[in-house]
Amino acid sequence: MKRDRMMLLLFALLLTAIPVVPALLLSHKTPPATSESSATTESLPDFSVLDVSTGEVMTVSARDYVIGAVCAEMPATFEPEALKAQAVAAHTYAVRQQQIEQENPTADLCGADFSNDPAQYQAYFTENQAKQYYGEQFDTYYHEIADAVDAVLPYILTYEEEPIIAAFCSMSAGQTESAETVWGQAVPYLIPVDSAADETAPHFLEEVTFSKEEMQDALQTLAPDAKLEADHPETWLTVQEVSDSGTVCTAEVGGVSVSGQEVRAALSLRAAAFIVAYADEQFTITTKGYGHGVGMSQYGANAMAKNGSDWREILLYYYPETVITDVTS
């Protein structure tokens, strides 16, 4: 279970989510479940969420939690089938995390399954947070997401009859990445799959520039023993090994080997798929994609939905060998 907790923590820390507004109280109202889904909603166990702003542990229904997670994690303008796929992934994450906490509780959670801190756990919007985020479009967007959640609420993804690590990212570098490359632990269903549609997503390629001084400070913090030659700044950061999916596995900082994920964190890059250039006294780093690249690509899922794939096809494509399981049956 310790390994499971570490994998979930790494997933949460690397997860790319929509920016989250400040935490508010967890009590809220949601659009009522349809008569078709109300029986299912009532049969699902609730989740307990620690509000980090108040220290209060709140009980949230499965339906309300999944709606809030989809609001926080995927653009509401995405296709309905993509929203449904995201809902199943969000529900799966919550069920798995709840099981882990029941078996080996985290003291800081005060008995909760997870908190509303997006730096540690899956992002989650209350209705009030969603209202702030969506503004005048709240009624339209919130109800569209609620409808998507109601359509798939009984389902989660399992592997060998256990909830999966439902990792997802905003967009890959054109092919999703393996869990082994990013986290050092192989997961049978978190393997590379083609996601070429990501290359047409907004801001797929992004450039960020650093002055020599900025880069030196960041790299020296990352690798204190690095020897950064003042006369040869082009040697300060060099890419050494790149995965088939485009992720920088290892880089060298002044003679010190570091991981691409460490470089990403040190420089606040959108992704660990990057190239480095130095010219005219400044560094330019170009990234591909957004996020760790593992599991379902949200923009890839949306592209599949636009091309006619339903939520089941999307999920089974990005999480091969998994099973869509009805937790109410």
pLDDT at 40: 61
By the 10 Å C-beta count (0-12 exposed, 13-18 middle, 19+ buried), 220 is classed as middle
pLDDT at 42: 74
How many C-beta atoms surround the C-beta of residue 228 within 10 A? 18
Q: Which amino acid is at 64?
A: D
pLDDT at 21: 33
Helix (H, G, I), strand (E, B) or coil at 55: coil
Distance CA 176, CA 199 (A): 12
By the 10 Å C-beta count (0-12 exposed, 13-18 middle, 19+ buried), 227 is classed as exposed
Decide: 81 and 302 in contact? Cβ < 8 Å.
no
- The CA-based diameter of the chain, rounded to the nearest angstrom, is 71
pLDDT at 31: 55
Distance CA 181, CA 14 (A): 13
Per-domain boundaries in the chain: 2-169+308-326, 205-288
Distance CA 155, CA 30 (A): 20
Axis-axis angle for helices 311-318, 298-306 (nearest 10): 140
Distance CA 179, CA 140 (A): 36
Helix (H, G, I), strand (E, B) or coil at 294: strand
Q: Which residues pair with 248 in a beta bridge?
A: 242
- Whole-structure pTM value: 0.87
Sheet strands side by side (includes 162-163): 162-163, 155-159, 323-326
What's the CA dihedral at 67, 126, 78, 293 to 10 degrees? -90
pLDDT by 10-residue block (mean), the chain, 329 residues: 47 40 35 52 89 92 97 97 98 97 95 93 92 96 98 97 97 98 97 98 98 97 97 97 98 97 98 97 98 98 98 98 95
Decide: 289 and 170 in contact? Cβ < 8 Å.
yes
Distance CA 261, CA 130 (A): 31
Here the tokens at position 31 are 């659009």
Distance of CA 218 to the CA centre of its chain: 25
Helices (H), 111-202: 127-134, 138-152, 179-183
CA-nearest of 100, 107, 109, 69 to 85 is 69
Helices (H), the chain: 2-14, 35-43, 62-73, 80-103, 127-134, 138-152, 179-183, 212-222, 260-267, 298-306, 311-318
CA distances 250 to 27, 56, 240, 259, 316, Å, are 45, 42, 5, 4, 31
Distance CA 319, CA 23 (A): 31
Distance CA 56, CA 48 (A): 10
